[in-house]
Amino acid sequence: MHDSNRIKRVLLVDDDPLVRKSFLRCFADENFDLEVAEGAEQALAILEGGEVIDVIVADFLMPGKDGVRLLEQVKEQWPEMVRILFTASAESTRVQNSLRNGLAAALIEKPWDRDHIYSVISSF
């Protein structure tokens, strides 16, 4: 059972600075404490540094380690963390397999809708 009134700590991982800035602006007044990372390595450094994160939202296509590989590592090291894949490639076999095999709890499609993202994150 989750407490929907508790402030959730959310880590958004996206290589696009405009997406990161938009997320910070859109969710500044919500019941989230939002942290952003520009890629998998920065996200892992945040997590390994002891940050308590409830939900990670990872972009599917990023240079270096992509979102699926990042979520695989997160699942292994922090299995209790909710993992969400963020993508414009929802039909990709890798994306669909990530949902089917439980690697990602949800999928958020680009272009994104603020209310939908809020609803998805709040549901966990």
Would you say 88 and 110 are in contact if contact means Cβ atoms under 8 Å apart?
A: yes
More confident residue, 76 or 122: 76
Query: Is the confidence at residue 110, as pLDDT, over 60?
Result: yes
| 55 vs 28 pLDDT, higher one | 55
Task: Give the residue-averaged pLDDT of 52-60.
Answer: 96
Tens of pLDDT, residues 29-47: 777 899 999 999 999 999 9
pLDDT class for 1, splitting at 50, 70, 90? very low
CATH numbers and ranges of domains, the chain? 8-122 (3.40.50.2300)
Is the distance from CB of 63 to CB of 39 less than 8 angstroms? yes
Query: What is the pTM (predicted TM-score) of this model?
Result: 0.90
